[in-house]
Structure 1
Amino acid sequence: MCEANVYILKDDREELVLESVDKVIPQEEGILLEDIFGKRKLVRARIKEMALVNHRIILEEIK
């Protein structure tokens, strides 16, 4: 499987945003995430790190 879990950094902690993410789509407002079931979530953040072998994407908030 190729999907990843997406986390956002908050106060030096990683908080789970969405599991089994299949698509990461840049938007003007942030990043649109879509999981394998079609659930979508727009996050005001930018990509900090992608560790695809470990199925993890780390985001940092845009303030």
Structure 2
Amino acid sequence: MCEANAYIYKNGKEELYLENVDLLIPEGSKIYLRNLFGEQKTFEGHVKEISLLKHKILLEETKE
């Protein structure tokens, strides 16, 4: 399986945002995510890091 869990990086900590993500589409300042079960979320920010070996996506909110 190639899906990953998405986490939000906030205040030096990682919080689970969405499990089993199989689709990630960046659209300007937003990121569209969908998981294996059809759950969809849109995150405002950017991708901080992706680890394919750890199956992990790290997102960070856009700072104003």
Normalising by structure 1, report the TM-score: 0.93
Aligned length: 63
4+ runs of 1 displaced by more than 4 Å?
A: none
Higher alpha-carbon deviation: 6-15 or 28-37: 28-37
Normalized per residue, the structure richer in helix is: 1
Partner of 1:35: 35
Deviations, residues 5-49 of structure 1 (Å, cap 9, x unaligned):
000111110010000000001123410000001110000110010
RMSD: 0.9
Match of 2:58 in 1: 58
Specify the alignment match of 1:26 in structure 2. Answer: 26
Q: Which runs of 5+ in 1 are unaligned?
A: none
Flag structure 2 segments of 5+ consecutive residues without an equivalent. Answer: none
Q: TM-score, normalised by structure 2?
A: 0.92
* Equivalent position amino acid for 2:16 in 1: L
TM-aligned CA deviation for residue 50 of structure 1: 0.3
